Amino acid sequence: MKKTRVLFALLVAAALLLAACAGGPSGPAEQRNDSLIVLEWSGYEEESYWAPFAEKHPEIYPDYAFFSEDAEALAKAQSGFYFDVVHPCGSWWGLYVEAGLVQPIDTSRLENFDKLFPELVEHGVINGQQYFIPWDWAYESITVRTDLVDELPTSWADLWDPQYRGQIAIFDSGESTFYTAALALGLDPYNTTPEQDEQIKQKLIELKPNLLTYWADYTEINQLLASGDVALGANTWNDAWATLNDEGYEVEYVDPAEGRLSYACGFGISANSRNVDLAYDYIDALIDAQSNANMANDYYYGAANRDSVPLLDPDLVDKFGYDDLSVLDETNFQHPLTQEQREKMTRIWNEVKSEQ
């Protein structure tokens, strides 16, 4: 099974934490200018994803500080933790810019920049400047064990169908669940009134009889679906379908009538980086066609580099439309949220979960 580097990543993270403590509050980069600190999701440290950097700088191996969710990464950055490069997802990018944590990127310093899908690049532009370079993109939708249900859902609203009582696990995310309920109600999740926020809250409370549990990690939802404990994985990424399909399960990845959710993640450079040249070289290596394809094939995601597409699994390209990003026009692409919006979504979701 792919993506099984979690234990290794945790051990590395622990070692990095000890090293950071030994080197003072800003970490080891404070003492030298021959390293690169990357604030990253565990698993993306794989060297084949940045091989051109290794070829150009054989004496340097990036130091990774891992996080398990975007909120943790932002909190780390805001705490003063030293990093050179960070890899958040798009709905969080605006908060990094607002807090002054990242610097505008000079795209002329990236040889591979012009090969990126412009549909993704534009989402990294904030206040008229390029702050983030996209790398990976994917969907959120409903993964269904077709052998365990009588009828396939065809919309987000179908999650509330009584026939799925006790058969659903939903992503434990205030943002995702807010979007899901808003779409089911026919509302614009980015422009809701207080009255509509209450509607969304009540809608999510009404979903609870259909929920067996909440999931927080891709390994967790994949196991729940594989075991048959749940028949529907709500707000799952396309890797859930691909992993289970590879393992021989009867699964489908729904394209809801209201549209799938979609998102991109990418890289920014710290406003305080003392290794800016290395940061540019590292990001350029990541968006190299082969490097980007190596990641996308491992994780079943879309690649930001157009030249990566011929290097991807053709079945996945056909299944998910990785070669023509006009497909995103049919989805609900996640945009940067304000801190106020994010706090509201988190509060509503916490209230829903505490409701008996």
Task: Name the CATH code of domain 6-137+263-322 (choices 3.10.20.30, 3.40.50.720, 1.20.272.10, 3.40.190.10).
Answer: 3.40.190.10
pLDDT one-digit tens code per residue, 32-63? 446 899 999 999 999 999 999 999 999 999 99
Size of the chain in residues = 356
* CATH 3.40.190.10 matches 139-261+335-354: yes
Contact (Cβ atoms closer than 8 angstroms) between residue 34 and residue 60: yes
Q: For each of the chain's 356 residues, which pLDDT tens digit applies?
A: 333 333 333 333 443 343 343 333 334 334 344 689 999 999 999 999 999 999 999 999 999 999 999 999 999 999 999 999 999 999 999 999 999 999 999 999 999 999 999 999 999 999 999 999 999 999 999 999 999 999 999 999 999 999 999 999 999 999 999 999 999 999 999 999 999 999 999 999 999 999 999 999 889 999 999 999 999 999 999 999 999 999 999 999 999 999 999 999 999 999 999 999 999 999 999 999 999 999 999 999 999 999 999 999 999 999 999 999 999 999 999 999 999 999 999 999 999 999 97
Delimit the domains of the chain by residue range. Answer: 6-137+263-322, 139-261+335-354
Cα–Cα distance for residue pair 147/251, rounded to 1 Å: 8
Give residue 186's Cα distance to chain centre.
25
Residue type, 350: N
Tokens of 12: 């590395």
Listed as own residue / partner, the contacts of 120-127 with beta carbons closer than 8 Å and 24 or more positions apart are: 120/264, 120/266, 120/304, 120/325, 121/304, 123/90, 123/93, 123/264, 123/333, 123/335, 124/90, 124/93, 124/266, 126/93, 126/94, 126/97, 126/336, 127/97
Query: Which residue, 287, 17, 14, is CA-closest to 132?
Result: 287
pLDDT one-digit tens code per residue, 17-26? 433 433 333 3
**Half-sphere exposure (CA, 13 Å, Cβ side) for 83?**
30
Are domains 6-137+263-322 and 139-261+335-354 of this chain identical in fold? yes
Partners of 253 in the β-ladder: 143
